[in-house]
Homo-oligomer: A and B are copies of this chain.
Amino acid sequence: MKDSPRALENASVTLAEGMHFAGRIDGFSIDIDAEESVGGRGAGPQPLRLLLLGIAGCTAMDVISILRKKRQEVDDLEVEVLGSRVEEHPRVYDDVEIIYRVRGKGIEPRDVERAIELSEGRYCPVIAMIGEATRITSRYEVKEA
């Protein structure tokens, strides 16, 4: 670590019962659970899928923020992330696809494209990290409000 102190971020899980764990991030509670095939009982999402949600949230925030700076009138932004897992342990995602759906008045597709490029190539730490381990592709759709 560097000499200058940096704030540590943290998250934790505590056993509830079975494979159900109570998770905490910054005072927020997020229950997680395993797949049913390995003892889960549907108390929460599986931990690996949090990576997909992390990708979706991180890039969505970049994109909405950049589009607002460009004075684009965005009414809706949905980001969906799909992951395909290999069969062998540790069963990582080897293919991830991001789909951006933007709805608004007179949205300029080139601005959406540029916002996505900036997020994926420069700003989004989740994509920068996960992109070291898997192929990530993306596409977008623009709809008139």
CB of B133 within 8 A of CB of A10, answer: no
How many copies of this chain does one complex carry?
2
Return the contact of A128 from the options B77, B90, B123 (Cβ within 8 A). Answer: B90
CB of A49 within 8 A of CB of B11, answer: yes
Complex: how many Å from CA A123 to CA B47? 13
CB of A54 within 8 A of CB of B61, answer: no
Residue interface mask A62-75, B partner, CB < 8 A = 1: 00110000000010
**Which residues of B have CB within 8 Å of A81?**
10-12
CB of A45 within 8 A of CB of B28, answer: yes
Residues of A within 8 A of B (CB): 1, 6, 8-15, 19, 21, 23, 25-26, 28, 30, 32, 34, 38-39, 44-58, 60-61, 64-65, 74, 76-85, 87, 89-93, 95, 122-130, 132-134
- Given contact pairs A84-B6, A129-B133, A79 touches B25 in the complex (Cβ within 8 A): no
Complex: how many Å from CA A90 to CA B122? 6
Return the contact of A82 from the options B9, B28, B38, B90 (Cβ within 8 A). Answer: B9
**Which residues of B have CB within 8 Å of A95?**
1
**Which residues of B have CB within 8 Å of A61?**
19, 21, 34, 38, 47
Complex: how many Å from CA A78 to CA B22? 9
